[in-house]
Every structure is written in structure tokens, then in C-alpha cells.
Amino acid sequence: MTNNINTQCQLPEHFYDKDDLARMFLNRKIYIWGAGRDGKGVFQMLKRNGYQAEAFFDSSPLLWNEGGGGGKYRCLTPAPF
């Protein structure tokens, strides 16, 4: 785990490593907020590291039918949450 200080706004930055992922996701279902470009990037990063997303959440009704991760996973409405 690496922590750096962003001198422009003085906020700590955190860069997650494989050990951090293992601690966060051990025995948990993974859901990704956002089925657009950034969400798909998170999906690919998780996949490369041996994790599987359960589904995406997105506020865009257009993506609910498309599916997240290029249609590979469900894309759900966040309305109940």
C-alpha cells in the first residue's frame, strides 16, 4: 500500500495493491457503480486480478438493458438502494 500527498489540495491519495484487494473482497460479492468507461475499466482490473463482478449499478436506463462489462454482466437500477 502506498500513500502520497497531493500537494495541490493536501488530500492523501491511496493506491490499492493486490493485498488490499484480497482484504476488501474476500468472501464478498462485488458490485460496480457505473457501467460506462470507468466502470468497465474497474471490471477489467478486477478480472485481471482474479475477481468476478456480480453486477453493475448505473442510473442510466439505457444501460440497464445493455448490461455492464460489454453485456457480460447484469446492469441494475440503483433505485431500491
- Kindly report, residue by residue over 31-70, the tens digit of the pLDDT: 999 988 899 898 898 888 888 888 899 988 887 766 555 5
Residue 5: is its pLDDT beyond 60?
A: no
Task: Let me know: does 34 contact 15? Beta carbons within 8 Å.
Answer: no
pTM (2 decimals)?
Answer: 0.67
The reported pLDDT for the residue numbered 6 is: 46
Q: Which of residues 65 and 17 earns the better pLDDT score?
A: 17
Query: Is the pLDDT at 77 greater than 80, yes or no?
Result: yes
* Integer-rounded Cα radius of gyration of the chain: 15
Contact 73, 55 (CB under 8 A): yes
Q: How many helices (H) and strands (E) does the chain have?
A: 4, 5
pLDDT at position 12:
66
Pairing of strands 2-6, 11-15: antiparallel
